[in-house]
Amino acid sequence: MEYSIRPMRTEDIPQVAEIERESFPTSWPSTPFKRELSNRLARYLVACVPLLGDTPGDAVIERTTAMPPALLSRILTGLRRLFGSAPRKSRPATDLIVGYVGIWFMTDEAHITSIAVHEEYRRMGLGDLLMLAAVELSMARKARLMTLEARVSNVGAHALYEKYGYRKVGLRKSYYMDNKEDAVIMSTDPIMSPGYQVLYSSLLDAFRERRGEAVWTLA
């Protein structure tokens, strides 16, 4: 797969915030990503593809001949999103960010606070890649199990979570402020248990067979 996973950086915030806005348009307040990046209990990972060259313009020129047209067009779309408006004063982004996952590590639990993929990049395996990396990070941090909450209506997300061994363990009534929708609470089995390890290995193998190597840097 041409996309890889790495920890989120400050210069990624505008792109991640945009993915959050389009993915959760009714969520308020938005995530304070800058503060979250210095929260020692939180870890954010992004799925990205590099923009080569010193400036985004150079990147496109350098890669025009070598890059597959579909990838070039996606990068151009990303650049238009990024630089179409007024120039930013902050350090420029070096990567095109296409998705992110946030995890809070609390006691022995790894709690997925948010996961989203830019809508133009969905159903390409990026949700899988982010989930695989989140499990890998949780194992490295010695979390016992993984948990999350999801809107009862979010059937696509439920399918993703169930694929990764999450089961419904409870309900939070009227949890979401915008429409008072209930949240399902989901949890995995202990992630170091033999059963979960077998599931994880089979998901990783299946990903590699279908999408190519899974590449990540977790710290």
Dihedral of alpha carbons 18, 25, 130, 111, sign = positive
Q: Is 109 a catalytic residue?
A: no
- In whole angstroms, how far apart are CA 136 and each of 28, 38, 203? 30, 21, 12
Tell me the window of 35-43, 73-81, 86-94, 152-160 that interacts with ligand COA (CB under 6 A): 152-160
Q: Which of 79, 163, 176, 204 binds ligand COA (CB under 6 A)?
A: 163
Edge-to-edge strands, sheet with 95-106: 4-7, 42-50, 95-106, 109-117, 145-151, 183-187, 167-172
Question: What residues numbered 28-87 form the site for ligand COA, per CB under 6 A?
Answer: none
How far apart are CB 122 and ligand COA at their closest, in Å?
3
Angle between helical axes of 194-211 and 126-140 (0-180°, round to 10): 140
- In the annotation, is 161 catalytic? yes
Of 44, 161, 164, 196, which is the active-site residue? 161
CB nearer ligand COA, residue 113 or residue 193: 113
Is the peptide bond between 29 and the residue preceding it cis, with omega within 30 degrees of 0? yes
**Measured from the CB atom, is 24 or 83 closer to ligand COA?**
24
**Residue from 37, 67, 79, 124 that binds ligand COA (CB under 6 A)?**
124
Near ligand COA by CB under 6 A, which window of 63-71, 75-83, 114-122, 188-196? 114-122
Token representation of residue 135? 């499990």
Examine residue 156 and tell whether it contacts ligand COA (CB under 6 A): yes
For residue 216, give the DSSP letter.
B
89 by Cβ neighbours in 10 Å (0-12 / 13-18 / 19+) ranks as exposed
Give min distance, CB of 209 to ligand COA, in A: 12
Number of residues counted as binding ligand COA (CB under 6 A)? 18
Q: Strand 4-7 and strand 145-151: pairing?
A: unpaired
Active site residues: 149, 161
Q: Which residues bind ligand COA (CB under 6 A)?
A: 23, 115-117, 122-128, 150, 154, 156-157, 159-160, 163
